Structures are given as structure tokens and as C-alpha cells.
């Protein structure tokens, strides 16, 4: 492996790769698919920087394999739960992420999941493909109408949560939220009502998760939380899968307490919970929240620029503290 190289653990979009070729030589780029662990460790040896994806576990073992020259790990994601931040800090290795550039794309997808579940879009699509005949009926396919003033509860009103709030407000929803910005001026303009976590789960018609995965938030949507939710409510997760106990969610759906769920992320990603897979009331997506073309370019470019800054002796643009 080239010593002092920059390792890109999976090939990025064409725009991001051409910036990487221009700004970060010598470059070692692994394949499109996630590298197996041995290959990752081998190719990290001697690296001064690693551009990593959320599919790679970045930890002490990898830092040992890389050796003492490693200066930055630039994650191509807002979330950094795949990185052992404490180990990086201990070794003086900088970590950066890509906040800000994926808010709108992720919020678009959260809204899409809210509408897909409440208006039963995917279920209806499956029905019409399999039905031999059908006819319009006044009581058929009725679902929760967000635009009729349903209450949307946003867990974690950060950048992405606020982008969801803007959309939900435009749709005519009443919005309640947790998070430091829920009592700020932008939230006030969107008529967001700040609430505690318990009240949010107890009163929202739709709960949508936008908090990071940390040791405090892991498993926060457990059986007790799900039991506290309103009869016939919905859960949307475009954050991180392990925020939710999926078996408890399957129970809540099977018992008819929850009317539906929309999941872009999965507890044991890339594995998908079999019980949820069988449920008609669940919309399942393969972690595509940021998969807008412009957003994926912007994420890759920001990660490349973070590395370029550090190699030039400056701070990354978007460091993780």
C-alpha cells in the first residue's frame, strides 16, 4: 500500500471522486461494495487520512493498523456512530462529518414516509398490482390526514428536524418537538410547541426520529415508549436503526396499537426485521435519506475538502468535537 496515502474506503460519486483525485494524492480507492475487514485494515496501513462511509467500523483496531501518521477520518455522513470518537480523541486523530448538506434530502424522505404510511400509499400500490378488479369506495383506503391538523412529533429538532418541521408546517400539521432549538425563533415561526419526550410520545399522531445515535438514545423507542403512544399513531425513523427496538415495534403493530411505521434505517442494518418485512403497514427503505444526487455529491465533496484542509495544516471545515 502507498505510504502516506489518503484512503477512500468506498468509491464516491463522480463529482466527489474527481475532487479527490485533484486534491488528495496519493489516493487509494477501494471498491463500490464495503471492504471486508482484512482489506480495510490492510489498505489503511500508512494512511494519513481516511475518507470513510457509515458501513465501516472505525476503531482502535483500525487506528493501530493505520499507524501513527493518520491525521483525520472524514466520515461521509452526518452520523458518526460508526466511529469510536473517544479512541480517535485519545490518539489526536481528527474526525469530521458532513452536517448541513443532507438536511433537505433527509427531510424530504421523512415527509415521504409520513405520507406513504398515513395515506397507505405503498400498501395501496401493492393492492392494485395484485387485485383482479377494484372499484372506488367512500370508506376504502382511509388514512390519517396530516393536512387536517394531525400532530407531528419531532424527536430532536436539530438541522434535519427543523427541515422536517418546515415541511410539516407547510402541510398544515400541528408540530411538537424536543431538542434545544424547539424554543428558538425559527421553531416559533413554525408554531412548534416545545415538549418533553414523554409528552411527545403520548400526544403525537406521528412521531419522527431525528436525534443522533448515542449511548443515551440507543433503544430509546422501546416497548414502554411504544405503549405510551396514541392508539392508531405512526412511527417514522430516518435517523439510525438502533434508536428503535424493532421487535417491540412489531408487537405494537401486530397488536394494532400503532397504525403504521416508516423505516429508512434498521436496527441490525443491513438485516431487516422479518416480522416488519411481513407487515403491510410498514414501509421499509434501504437507508436512502441522503440519496438525492446533489446531496450525495455535496457530502462527498465536503469530506474531501475536510481532508484537504487538514493536510494543508488547517482545521477541518466540519469537525466533530
Contacting residues toward ligand DGY, per CB under 6 A: 54, 77-79, 102, 289-290
Longest CA span, the chain: 69
Active site residue 287: yes
For ligand DGY, which is the closer residue by CB, 151 or 318? 318
Angle at which helix 103-118 crosses helix 159-170, to 10 degrees, equals 50
Active site residue 269: yes
Q: 240, 266, 281, 305: which one is catalytic?
A: 240
Strand duo 151-155 + 206-209: pairing: parallel
For ligand DGY, which is the closer residue by CB, 102 or 144? 102
For ligand DGY, which is the closer residue by CB, 83 or 144? 83
Smallest distance, Å, CB 27 to ligand DGY? Answer: 22
For ligand DGY, which is the closer residue by CB, 53 or 88? 53
Residue 52: phi and psi, rounded to 5, are -115, 160
Smallest distance, Å, CB 156 to ligand DGY? Answer: 13
For ligand DGY, which is the closer residue by CB, 194 or 242? 242
Q: Whose grid coordinates read 476503531?
A: 59
C-alpha–C-alpha distance, residues 138 and 177, integer Å: 34
CA distances from 236 to 161, 177, 207, 210, 284 (A): 12, 14, 6, 9, 10
| Residue from 95, 59, 104 nearest 76 by CA | 95
Q: 159, 287, 296, 305: which one is catalytic?
A: 287
Smallest distance, Å, CB 238 to ligand DGY? Answer: 8
Q: Whose grid coordinates read 398490482?
A: 129
CA distances from 297 to 11, 108, 171 (A): 12, 17, 29
Smallest distance, Å, CB 166 to ligand DGY? Answer: 19
For ligand DGY, which is the closer residue by CB, 8 or 78? 78
- Between CA 189 and CA 198, with CA 192 as vertex, the angle to 5 degrees is 165
**Residue spans of alpha helices (H) in the chain:** 14-23, 37-44, 60-66, 85-90, 103-118, 121-130, 159-170, 185-189, 197-203, 223-228, 246-254, 274-278, 293-311
For ligand DGY, which is the closer residue by CB, 62 or 110? 110
Phi-psi region of 17 (alpha: psi -120 to 50; beta: other; left: phi over 0): alpha
CA distances from 97 to 50, 77, 243 (A): 12, 6, 20
Smallest distance, Å, CB 103 to ligand DGY? Answer: 10
So which residues are the catalytic ones? 240, 269, 287
Amino acid at each position: 500500500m502507498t505510504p502516506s496515502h489518503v484512503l477512500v474506503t468506498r468509491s464516491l460519486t463522480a463529482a466527489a471522486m474527481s475532487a479527490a483525485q485533484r486534491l488528495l494524492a496519493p489516493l487509494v480507492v477501494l471498491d463500490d461494495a464495503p471492504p471486508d475487514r482484512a482489506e480495510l485494515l490492510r489498505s489503511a496501513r500508512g494512511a494519513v487520512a481516511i475518507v470513510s462511509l457509515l458501513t465501516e467500523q472505525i476503531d482502535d483496531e483500525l487506528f493501530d493498523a493505520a499507524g501513527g501518521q493518520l491525521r483525520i477520518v472524514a466520515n461521509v455522513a452526518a452520523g458518526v456512530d460508526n466511529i469510536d470518537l473517544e479512541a480517535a480523541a485519545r490518539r489526536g486523530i481528527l474526525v469530521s462529518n458532513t452536517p448541513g448538506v443532507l438536511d433537505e434530502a433527509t427531510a424530504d424522505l421523512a415527509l415521504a414516509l409520513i405520507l406513504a404510511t398515513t395515506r397507505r400509499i405503498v400498501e395501496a400500490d401493492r393492492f392494485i398490482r395484485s387485485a383482479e378488479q377494484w372499484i372506488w369506495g367512500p370508506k376504502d383506503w382511509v388514512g390519517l390526514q396530516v393536512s387536517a391538523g394531525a400532530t407531528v412529533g419531532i424527536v430532536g429538532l436539530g438541522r434535519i428536524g427543523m427541515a422536517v418541521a418546515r415541511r410539516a408546517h407547510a402541510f398544515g400539521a400541528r408540530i411538537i418537538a424536543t431538542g434545544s432549538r424547539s424554543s428558538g425563533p425559527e421553531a416559533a415561526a413554525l408554531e412548534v410547541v416545545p415538549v418533553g419526550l414523554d409528552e411527545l410520545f403520548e400526544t403525537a399522531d406521528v412521531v419522527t426520529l431525528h436525534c443522533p445515535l448515542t449511548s443515551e438514545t440507543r433503544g430509546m423507542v422501546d416497548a414502554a415508549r411504544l405503549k405510551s403512544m396514541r392508539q392508531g399513531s405512526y412511527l417514522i425513523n430516518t435517523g439510525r436503526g438502533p434508536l428503535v427496538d424493532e421487535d417491540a415495534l412489531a408487537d405494537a403493530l401486530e397488536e394494532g396499537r400503532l397504525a403504521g411505521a416508516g423505516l429508512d434505517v434498521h436496527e441490525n442494518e443491513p438485516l431487516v426485521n422479518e416480522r416488519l418485512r411481513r407487515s403491510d403497514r410498514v414501509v421499509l427503505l434501504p437507508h436512502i435519506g441522503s440519496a438525492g444526487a446533489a446531496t450525495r455529491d455535496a457530502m462527498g465533496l465536503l469530506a474531501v475538502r475536510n481532508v484537504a484542509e487538514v493536510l494543508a495544516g488547517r482545521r477541518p471545515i466540519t469537525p466533530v468535537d
